[in-house]
Amino acid sequence: MNTKKEDILDIAAYIRDELKFDHAESVAGVDYPSSKEIEVVYHLGSYTEPQLAKQILSLATRLPREDVPNPGEDRTRMTSLRDIFYSVEFHERECFEMFGVYFEGHPDNRRLLLPEDWADIPPLRKDFKIKGR
Amino acid sequence: MTTQLPPGMQLEKVDDRIMTLNVGPQHPGSGHMRLIMKVDGDFIVSCDPDPGYVHRGEEKMAEYRNYIQNIPHLERPVIHDSCNILYPYCLAVEDLLAIEVPERAKYIRVMASELNRCVYTLYWLAIYGIFLGHSTMFMWPMGDRELFIDLLEAMSGARVTHAYFVPGGIRNDIPANFEERCLRQVNYFEKRLKEYEDIFYQNPVLKQRTEGAGILSKIDAIRLGTTGSVLRASGVDFDVRKKEPYDVYESLDFETQVLREGDSYARSRVPYLDMLESCRIIRDALKKMPKSGSVRTKLKPNPKGGNDEAYRRVESGRGSLGMYIVSDSKTEPYRVKISVGSFRNLICMPYLLKGEKLGNMPAVYWSLNYWPVEADR
């Protein structure tokens, strides 16, 4: 399911309240430098509804991407879904440091896996190259 | 002079009552991760997990290698459970490349993944035992683990990093006398598990330390999106093998183990009950497996996926393990996202440890079945 980033909060609330999906399995960022976009994909599942146990709902939205990222200051930002799905907390933190996507309303936008003194661009963006490759 | 220090390195105001305590990253009680805890006397006021000390950038590396080259390095996050971490990768790549897996390979895969689950769980149980001061429970699982390692070595040729699963089946067929040997060891192991029950799970000292420690209610377990043994110990009946059966799990005879207590004791018992189920699955798979046939679908050299994406998950030793692969018609995947059980269960640590006694920290922490290397990827 693809949405605009302005609508994602309403759609997520609908998914939780009406469709009964109750937790996030993963939050994945995908970088598309050719179209200057970053996609954020939420994979949602349900523990409470037996018919939905087999289903994974993927909720995706695309954000504008700047060539020189400055996490927190640029336009790559979206509303955090933490108020809807509590379980996205650490996943969004990971997405923040790896792609520079700033989640507005997230209570704890800090680094998680990267070293504290990491001073390069977010490493999972496509323009970050592994040395020697 | 006020220079802004990077996040995480700022100095904090020192309180005269609350003390900040760093557990890890080298502390044997925490694994390769740090728990920044604030303690008031003996009680934990808050806990902030700080993973990332063993982050190796598996997801980035996967974008530089083709679908086959990715196999040996994607199992590195959890080498004790390497079959189960490669499983979703193979399933997703099979979806992307539209490959059929031979029937015999499906059964062998299930057996290998169950044997590997026992290897992982025994390793975890050994550490859980030693951190609760039960050194017999360190020796026994470590010794019995060798049985399964030997079996996997006979199957794949490697003791720990098997790289046994490939998209399209498995790397090679099992040796001739394997079935008989496997059955003998599984029978022996089931007897051993009864002894584990007596010496460890019925031990009053263990019960006293773990019962009632770090209770996670059913609602919270769902809300926090926990998975695997943590979820099932809180009374949620969810096992990917049952709910979304992959390969031949549908035709095999086993049950999902669910406990209702939600405390550290229940969380440490669910993996044990899972091992009993694993024995059942292996025995059933040995019976139902086709006795001959191909075990690997031949791939084209340098296979390419279409402009497509796939998300597949399996039940690993630490819960649901998902792989999300985006392909853009190249020989390398465009993006690989590994969603692991350890990382998903990390979120309960602050909730469970808050208000707990510091001495209970290892009992609660290890009961989460947390594997730092896997969580960091």
Chain B residues close to A71, C-beta within 8 Å: none
Strand A2-3 and strand A57-64: pairing? parallel
Report, as an integer, the average pLDDT of B92-120: 89
The C-alpha atoms of residue B78 and residue B372 are separated, in whole angstroms, by 9
Q: Which pLDDT band holds residue B188 (cuts at 50, 70, 90)? A: very high
H or E element, residue B311: strand B307-316
Report, as an integer, the average pLDDT of B193-204: 90
Determine, for residues A130 and B60 on separate chains, whether the beta-carbon distance falls below 8 Å.
yes
Chain A residues close to B244, C-beta within 8 Å: 53-54
User: What pLDDT, on the 0 to 100 scale, is given for residue B53?
Assistant: 87
Measured between CA atoms, the residue of chain B closest to residue A108 is: B48
Superfamily of domain B58-347+356-376: Cytochrome-c3 Hydrogenase, chain B (1.10.645.10)
User: What pLDDT, on the 0 to 100 scale, is given for residue B12?
Assistant: 66
Q: From B365, B362, B363, B322, select the one nearest B346 (Cα to Cα).
A: B365
- Interface confidence (ipTM) of the complex: 0.86
Residue A37 has pLDDT above 80, yes or no: yes
Question: pLDDT for B118-127, tens place per residue?
Answer: 999 999 999 8
* B71: phi then psi, degrees, rounded to nearest 5: -60, -55
User: What pLDDT, on the 0 to 100 scale, is given for residue A2?
Assistant: 75
Question: pLDDT for A99-123, tens place per residue?
Answer: 888 888 888 877 788 887 777 788 8
Closest Cα of chain B to A53: distance in Å?
6
User: What pLDDT, on the 0 to 100 scale, is given for residue B29?
Assistant: 64
Among the partner-chain residues B52, B231, B320, the one whose CB lies closest to the CB of A113 is B52
User: What pLDDT, on the 0 to 100 scale, is given for residue B8?
Assistant: 63
Residue B1 has pLDDT above 50, yes or no: no
Rank A57-61, A77-81, B5-9, B115-119 by mean pLDDT and report only the highest.
Answer: B115-119
The C-alpha atoms of residue A55 and residue A50 are separated, in whole angstroms, by 10
Closest Cα of chain B to A22: distance in Å?
7
Measured between CA atoms, the residue of chain A closest to residue B50 is: A112
Residue B6 has pLDDT above 80, yes or no: no
B217: exposed, middle or buried (Cβ count in 10 Å: 0-12, 13-18, 19+): exposed
The C-alpha atoms of residue B326 and residue B309 are separated, in whole angstroms, by 4
Domains and CATH numbers, chain A: 2-104 (3.30.460.80)
Percent of chain B with pLDDT over 70: 95
Q: Which residue has the higher pLDDT, A72 or B354?
A: B354
Among the partner-chain residues A53, A89, A123, the one whose CB lies closest to the CB of B60 is A123
pTM over 0.90: no
Percent of chain A with pLDDT over 70: 98
Question: pLDDT for B223-271, tens place per residue?
Answer: 888 998 899 999 888 888 888 888 888 888 888 888 888 888 999 999 9
The C-alpha atoms of residue A91 and residue B144 are separated, in whole angstroms, by 36
Can you give the residue ranges of every domain in chain B? 58-347+356-376
Measured between CA atoms, the residue of chain B closest to residue A111 is: B7
CA dihedral defined by A28, A32, A35, A39, rounded to 10 degrees? 0
Task: State the average pLDDT for chain B.
Answer: 87
Strand A23-32 and strand A77-79: pairing? unpaired
Q: Which pLDDT band holds residue B2 (cuts at 50, 70, 90)? A: low
B295: exposed, middle or buried (Cβ count in 10 Å: 0-12, 13-18, 19+): buried
Closest Cα of chain B to A7: distance in Å?
23
Q: From B104, B121, B127, B194, select the one nearest B341 (Cα to Cα).
A: B121
Among the partner-chain residues A91, A113, A117, the one whose CB lies closest to the CB of B55 is A113
Closest Cα of chain A to B370: distance in Å?
15
Closest Cα of chain A to B341: distance in Å?
9
Identify the three-state secondary structure at position B233.
helix
The C-alpha atoms of residue A94 and residue A105 are separated, in whole angstroms, by 15
Chain A residues close to B57, C-beta within 8 Å: 123, 130
Chain A residues close to B344, C-beta within 8 Å: 25, 87
CA separation, residue A43 to residues A22, A119, A123, B238, B328 (Å): 11, 30, 22, 17, 20
Q: Which residue has the higher pLDDT, A71 or B72?
A: B72
Question: pLDDT for B66-99, tens place per residue?
Answer: 888 889 888 888 888 888 999 999 999 888 888 8
User: What pLDDT, on the 0 to 100 scale, is given for residue A116?
Assistant: 77
